[in-house]
Amino acid sequence: MAKTILGLIPARKGSKGVPGKNMSNICGKPLLQYTLDSACQSQLLTDLLISTDSVEMLKLSECFHVLSNGLRPDKLSGDSILTIDVVKYELSMLQAKKIKYDYIMLLQPTCPLRTSAHIDKAISLMLESSQSSLVSVVDVLGYHPLRMKRIIDNRLVNYIDIGHEDMRPRQELPPVYIRNGAIYLIEWDVLINQNSLVGKECIPFVMSPKDSINIDTIHDLYLAESFLKTQS
């Protein structure tokens, strides 16, 4: 039997770094729409659901025939709210309707360069593996932990102490990856039981630096816009 996969978009209206971020106009359409477009073009997602506290975003998603449990409660809309708590709330609402999926794919709307091809390739990798979760990552490149510092008592101290300053070229350093926020894919039961979007058994989905742009600042927004213009 084919596995069922729910795409879930968490899109709240508040943002400190970029006010109104998820509805910011980028190349003629709201930021949120890029994720709606790519998710709806996926061949492997079973359904798509939006979790939002915004009437405006809810109305936009309705144009794409996206599922919704209605506006999320205020207690799940603040800056300090964890995404896992939002996801668990939405899943509990579905369970109350006796609806359940095999996998949950979290698609944050702040990653406009993530495409349907990324979504479907990640799902295919997950279904071919024996692991319970998948997370998209990107190479840290020049921001390698062996080059990172802390400031203690106004002195630079190596973040990772290897006894000396590592001056090797970036290309000779061991590759290190960081979550880019574009894709989290996990079995429903594992998410609930481990209370996490990243299971203890997890495989990587490596994305390019360009496709990994995650809008957190105005600079990120301008950078994403410049790449999107070259694709149009």
**SS3 track for 137-185:** EEECCCCCHHHCEEEECCEEEECCCCCCCCCCCHHHCCCCEEEEEEEEE
In this structure, are 150 and 203 located in the same domain?
no
Query: Residue 53 is encoded by which pair of tokens?
Result: 């506290």
| Count of positions (residues) in the chain | 232
pTM (two decimals) = 0.93
Q: In this model, does residue 111 exceed pLDDT 80?
A: yes
Query: Residue 158 is encoded by which pair of tokens?
Result: 């190596």
**What does the pLDDT look like over 3-61, one tens digit per residue?**
999 999 999 987 777 888 999 999 999 999 999 999 999 999 999 999 999 999 999 99
In this structure, are 156 and 195 located in the same domain?
no
Q: What CATH code is carried by the domain that includes residue 42?
A: 3.90.550.10
In this structure, are 190 and 93 located in the same domain?
yes
What pLDDT sits at residue 177? 96
What pLDDT sits at residue 115? 97
In this structure, are 124 and 171 located in the same domain?
no
Helices (H) and strands (E) in the chain, counts: 6, 11
In this structure, are 46 and 82 located in the same domain?
yes
Q: In this model, does residue 82 exceed pLDDT 80?
A: yes
Total tally of structural domains belonging to the chain: 2
- Confidence band (pLDDT; 50, 70, 90) for 205? very high
In this structure, are 46 and 146 located in the same domain?
no
Instruction: Give CA–CA dist 108/182, Å, rounded.
Output: 6
Q: In this model, does residue 66 exceed pLDDT 90?
A: yes
What pLDDT sits at residue 232? 62
Q: In this model, does residue 78 exceed pLDDT 90?
A: no
What pLDDT sits at residue 15? 75
Instruction: Give CA–CA dist 227/88, Å, rounded.
Output: 34
**What does the pLDDT look like over 142-168, one tens digit per residue?**
889 888 999 999 999 999 888 888 888
In this structure, are 182 and 171 located in the same domain?
no
In this structure, are 147 and 123 located in the same domain?
no
A 10 A CB-CB count for 165 gives 9
In this structure, are 145 and 95 located in the same domain?
no
Instruction: Give CA–CA dist 134/131, Å, rounded.
Output: 8
> Domain range for residue 167?
141-175
* DSSP notation for 3-62: PPEEEEEEE-S--SSSTTGGG-EETTEEHHHHHHHHHHT-SS--EEEEEES-HHHHHHHH
In this structure, are 53 and 77 located in the same domain?
yes
In this structure, are 60 and 154 located in the same domain?
no
- Confidence band (pLDDT; 50, 70, 90) for 79? confident
In this structure, are 165 and 132 located in the same domain?
no
CB of 106 closer than 8 Å to CB of 8: yes
